[in-house]
Amino acid sequence: KQEVTQIPAALSVPEGENLVLNCSFTDSAIYNLQWFRQDPGKGLTSLLLIQSSQREQTSGRLNASLDKSSGRSTLYIAASQPGDSATYLCAVIKTGANNLFFGTGTRLTVIP
Amino acid sequence: DVKVTQSSRYLVKRTGEKVFLECVQDMDHENMFWYRQDPGLGLRLIYFSYDVKMKEKGDIPEGYSVSREKKERFSLILESASTNQTSMYLCASSFLGAGYGYTFGSGTRLTVV
């Protein structure tokens, strides 16, 4: 079964700092990987989708990379802001499957 | 703006009640999903559907059923609510084919007392 791990579970950084969130998965046979953001008590907001044939995607201050062979993805956030404070979740779709496998998330706090 | 809409943000129900959670998407997606989210356990798939009237069990289907009579609507049914079904419920949808991303609703916080 696909297992997805996110380290660290929680992270606090001062405003303006660049940071990296990590995601690892056990089965490299994936279709794609998606990063989400979740604010407390709210639903999930999609941030970036990386297809299995791609190595990275960028949106504004966010950059996500994917290394299928090593089973790893990183989400890079540049010049962090207090509004970036949220839980960040990565999820993968296994080849041949139809549903997402989620990590347990990294709770990010950006201190003004 | 494309949307997945869950009918209720908060619900409080009594033990033994039959509970309906509704989800509607306006993106003509084939796939629809119901997850529950609990602290320390993450998101777990309850049921999904890839077409009208079709359904597949996820990881934790016990105590739940689903209905998909129309493409845009996917309902989660708690036949007899229990306190261990107190949770955040999240609906999602996607196009058929794994190359597409998922869109989630804003969630329903269900409390069973």
Q: Scanning every residue of chain A, which has its alpha carbon at the shortest distance from the alpha carbon of B87?
A: A41
Residues in chain B: 113
Contacts of A106 in chain B (CB under 8 A): none
CA distance A63 to chain B (A): 17
Contact: A43, B104; criterion CB under 8 Å: yes
Q: Which amino acid is at A77?
A: I
Contacts of A42 in chain B (CB under 8 A): 106-107
A112 DSSP 8-state letter: -
Closest residue to B109, CB basis, from A41, A93, A104: A41
Residue A79 — pLDDT band, cuts 50, 70, 90?
A: very high
Contacts of A102 in chain B (CB under 8 A): 42-43
CA distance B50 to chain A (A): 9
pLDDT, averaged across chain A = 93
Lowest mean pLDDT among A77-81, A92-96, B11-15: A92-96
Closest residue to B98, CB basis, from A42, A45, A98: A98
Q: What span, in angstroms and rounded, lies between the C-alpha atoms of A87 and A105?
A: 6
Give residue A28's pLDDT.
84
Is pLDDT at B1 greater than 80 in this prediction? no
Residue A57 — pLDDT band, cuts 50, 70, 90?
A: very high
Strands B73-78 and B64-70: antiparallel
In B, what residues contact A, Cβ < 8 A?
Answer: 6, 31, 33, 40-43, 45, 48, 50, 56, 58, 88, 90, 92, 98-107, 109
Is pLDDT at B99 greater than 90 in this prediction? no
Closest residue to A43, CB basis, from B50, B56, B107: B107
- What tokens does B107 get? 């969630």
Name the β-bridge partners of B75. Answer: B22, B67
Is A56 in contact with A64 (CB distance < 8 Å)? yes
In tens, the pLDDT along B66-90 reads 999 999 999 999 999 999 999 999 9
DSSP string for residues in chain B: ---EEES-SEEEE-TT--EEEEEEESS--SEEEEEEEETTTEEEEEEEESSTT--EE-S--TTEEEEEEETTEEEEEESS--GGG-EEEEEEEE-SSTTS--EE---EEEEE-
The Cβ-side half-sphere exposure at A65, using a 13 Å CA radius, reads: 10
